[in-house]
Amino acid sequence: MKAFIVDRYGRADGVRAGEMPEPELREDDVLVQVHAAGVNVLDNKIRSGEFKLILPFRLPLILGNDVAGVVIRTGSRVRRFKVGDEVYARPHHDRIGTFAELIAMNEADVALKPRTLTMEEAASIPLVGLTAWQALIERAGLKKGQKVLIHAGSGGVGTFAIQLARHVGATVATTAGAANSDLVRRLGADVVIDYRTDDFTKALRDFDVVLDTQGGAVLERSLQVLKPGGKVIGIAGPPDPDFAKSIGSNRLMGLAMRFLSRKIRKAARRHHVGYSFLFMRADGDQLREIAALIDAGIIRPVVDRVFPFEATKEALAYVETGRAKGKVVIKVR
């Protein structure tokens, strides 16, 4: 099958088109013919080797973390899906590879595609939808009447998270460039901070939750806008000891993650707030709940551009510029 492959970590041009064997189908798997695949910042980070210590992928590796397509074969123990079902998914992190004509995934990681979306729209949802859901609903327990700051509101995670937080009934603040102010307001943002000209720490206070997508100084400064007992959930790092436990890291790696997150955890304690690192996990049940919200018209996808399959490298380069509004998608079939 045709696929886009990483043979060696590091180079920006280190992704090539090539032929790979069709994936092996396990008894709990569905084999999906890929129609569209979402492109994420995560794909470029994996290509560069940023996660090679905590997520040791085997090379050569097919990239891609979002998929929408059609089930063409099922394993002997599969009960949720049948041949012909239109599905969408974020594969388990050790079985990624959606930039290909076929992918095999455990049925527990898969859900029926939202019926109101095209394949390209559906492929834009899984990774960012699960990230927002697990950060705001599962980890933060966001409730009606609470206040949440969502950084980079015009990005893939941000556009979804704003809509989800608005649905919950929270007051939503976000950071975005002036050119994207109208977009994030239409999605449900109550307060928009222009990150180029305004200081969000001076404009906001007594927030319950911050969803940080930036890391570094933005993450550290975000502690200042939280009220005591508030939570900042970071998806850009640094990884913390709880994350080390969740992926079964060895003692040395656990100590490394404890050291890497020491500064931000100490600062969070000084502010009487909590910090946690989130690396989103695959979850078909949550995707079913997300699909229901989409089909009810509560959340809509935001797709910036759709690239043809043969332009996958160009799609990755475009995402790396950081200029995309919402998601970038590859049309495979």
The CATH number given to whatever domain includes residue 29 is: 3.90.180.10
Q: 111-128, pLDDT tens digit by residue?
A: 999 999 999 999 999 999
- Output the pLDDT for position 60: 95
Q: Look up residue 196 and give its amino acid.
A: R
Judgement on whether residues 56 and 193 belong to the same structural domain of the protein: no
Nearest of 81, 138, 129, 136 to residue 105 by alpha carbon: 81
Q: 197-246, pLDDT tens digit by residue?
A: 999 999 999 999 999 999 999 999 999 999 999 999 999 989 988 888 88
- Output the pLDDT for position 61: 95
CA distances from 30 to 75, 93, 182 (A): 6, 16, 41
What number of other Cβ atoms are within 10 A of residue 109's Cβ? 23
Number of domains in the chain: 2
Name the region of 148 (left: φ>0; alpha: ψ -120 to 50; beta: rest). beta
Judgement on whether residues 214 and 168 belong to the same structural domain of the protein: yes
- Output the pLDDT for position 101: 98
- Output the pLDDT for position 142: 98
What parts of the chain have a pLDDT lower than 70?
A: none
- Output the pLDDT for position 22: 96
Structural domain harbouring 104: 2-125+301-331
Judgement on whether residues 113 and 227 belong to the same structural domain of the protein: no
CA distances from 306 to 3, 135, 153, 171, 319 (A): 17, 27, 20, 32, 12
Judgement on whether residues 192 and 98 belong to the same structural domain of the protein: no
- The CATH number covering residue 178 comes to 3.40.50.720
Structure tokens at 140: 């933060």
In a domain, 288, yes or no: no
Nearest of 109, 221, 210, 71 to residue 153 by alpha carbon: 210
Judgement on whether residues 16 and 78 belong to the same structural domain of the protein: yes
Q: Residue 264, SS3?
A: helix
- Output the pLDDT for position 25: 97
Q: Model-level pTM?
A: 0.96
Judgement on whether residues 201 and 144 belong to the same structural domain of the protein: yes
